[in-house]
Amino acid sequence: MTRRLRVEEEMREMTYGELAAMCTNLQKACTKQMRSEEAQLFGVLASYYEQGRENSEERTYQDLLKAINEDLESGYREANAQASAYKDRGSLRALVWGEKVSKLLKSLLMRYDKQKNTLLENTNVYVCEICGFVYVGEQPPSLCPICKVPSFKIQAVQKEAV
Amino acid sequence: MHAARNIALCTKDCVCLFVCPTGATDTENGQIDFSKCISGCRLCVDACPSHAIYLVPSTYPKPQKKEAEVQDALFKLAESKVSQETIAKDLASGSDDPVFRQLCKTVAMSNHIMAEDCYREAGYILPQSDAVRSLLTNLLEKEKEKVAFPVEAVRKLLEKL
């Protein structure tokens, strides 16, 4: 395999939705460094991209399942192969978390498909704000089972009427 | 290098107030006043019984170069996560069922966080890096004509980072 280093970052083609996620990532990074002004500025940029984000083209619940299956069947395998070949520990870490979260999301989506609203009716739903782990139940676990962050980083998602 | 307080760990022992030579630890908002903090002093860090104070570096080492193939694979995964986030958001806004909306909102949040993590490991972990500066410069160049684009915010970021 030829080893290629990206010498200078050329501008990648990114959608507004992707740029929104990039900017909230940088916003969080600034918060961690106690750079609150920079965090706020990245927040402004993130909302610009969030507001301008494209709609999906008539896509359905089944399309969601299809996309997550593609990640699990090929996306993670390919990324893992590259990250292992280059012994990139940081990337391998992100891929381990992401693959576990994706498997859980897939099973949640499939369960909802069968049980519909009874799945979530008399319980709470939580998301770990560090790794994206989703938990359905009364109380979130005291540590996130995937990234091991304490539960104060695991947020409840509210039911909202229109 | 200045001290910062992790509020989640602070047990209000207040030893930091006692040892701080400048009063930087004594604030209304619970955080340390960085403008009064003496760089590298660390008296409060060592004195804190609940290990709630730490030093924030003012400069970081250069991030490691990311291999192009790894970066491409992570960007591709992030693209998929963002597209799932978009589908979930559209499904939520197209429904008036609070339970289904809650499910879609959850799926959207989870995918957004996974996309962020992909970018973090694709070389965008440190805001004060060449990769981020180059990204911001490119965005400014491409979008500065658009009315809603926050030109000032991006210029300030380029100045401060």
The pLDDT tens digits for B29-73 are 889 999 999 999 999 999 999 999 999 998 899 888 899 999 999
Question: Which residue on chain A is closest to B78 by alpha carbon?
Answer: A18
pLDDT greater than 60 at residue A45: yes
CB B33 within 8 A of CB B24: yes
Contact B119 A117 (CB under 8 A): no
End-to-end Cα, chain A, rounded Å: 53
Q: What is the pLDDT of residues A67-112, one digit of tens each?
A: 999 999 999 999 999 999 999 999 999 999 999 999 999 999 999 9
Strands A154-157, B2-5: pairing is unpaired
Which helix (H) or strand (E) is B83 found in, with range?
Answer: helix B68-93
Shortest Cα distance, chain A CAs vs residue B52, angstroms = 14
CB distance from A4 to chain B under 8 Å? Answer: yes
Assign 3-state DSSP to chain A and report helix, strand, coil percentages, each to 5: 55, 10, 35
CA neighbor of A110 nearest in space, from A54, A56, A72, A150? A72
Q: Is B149 left (phi over 0), alpha (psi -120 to 50) or beta?
A: beta
pLDDT greater than 70 at residue A39: yes
Nearest to B82 among A4, A21, A61 (CB): A21
CA neighbor of A95 nearest in space, from B63, B121, B123? B121
CB B95 within 8 A of CB B104: yes
Residues of A in Cβ contact (< 8 Å) with B66: 6, 88, 91
CB distance from B11 to chain A under 8 Å? Answer: no
**Greatest CA separation for chain B:** 58
Question: Which residue on chain A is closest to B157 by alpha carbon?
Answer: A38
Q: What is the DSSP letter of A126?
A: E
pTM of the model: 0.92
Residues of A in Cβ contact (< 8 Å) with B135: 9, 11, 22
Strands A134-137, B53-56: pairing is unpaired
Average pLDDT score, chain A: 92
Place of tokens 């992909």: B118
B71 alpha-carbon distance from chain centroid: 20
Question: Which residue on chain B is closest to A117 by alpha carbon?
Answer: B99
